[in-house]
Structure 1
Amino acid sequence: MKINKDSNSFSSSPFKEGMKSLLNKKVALTVIIILSAVYLLGIFSPLIAPYSYSETNLLNTQSSPSWDHIFGTDRLGRDIFTRIIW
């Protein structure tokens, strides 16, 4: 009995085939990148956010964007950038 060396006796797993097919599609790859970025932002938000999520500063209400508050503050003095990240 001869073994044909040209034939591929080892097939890829369905997972590998699916990932290869998924990564070849530009829209799917874009969605994966965006979802990964949102997921990582959620995990690392306590390290990135400059203020606490619920910290209020009534002396600094509705301020415009500045170096202290990148997106400004809302009517309760909460940092908008921090609230967007959380």
Structure 2
Amino acid sequence: MDLELDDIERIIESNVPDADADVTQPRGPEDDDHLAAVVVSPAFEDQSLVDQHEMVYDALDDHMTTDIHALELKTYTPADAPE
């Protein structure tokens, strides 16, 4: 994968309003195209879960087909985010 985890976080955070993204490799560095992301944004208010996920996928654009094979995604509004 050409992108670092920090790069993916920045892409999400710069394209989803006021987002805070945490991207990890749950299977370890040997499986670097399978990622997990937790994204918290007030932009998710009043959006369905599908729409929230679509916002993140749209933010990642072509990276979802070129750099990221699979993304385990959890989205939250600030009020619903786990502590």
User: TM-score per shorter chain, which class?
Assistant: under 0.3
Structure 2 length normalisation: TM-score? 0.26
Structure 1 length normalisation: TM-score? 0.25
Per chain length, whose mean CA-contact separation is higher, i.e. which structure has more relative contact order (CA < 8 Å, sep 6+)?
2
Instruction: Answer 1 or 2: which has greater strand percent.
Output: 2
Instruction: Answer 1 or 2: which has greater helix percent.
Output: 1
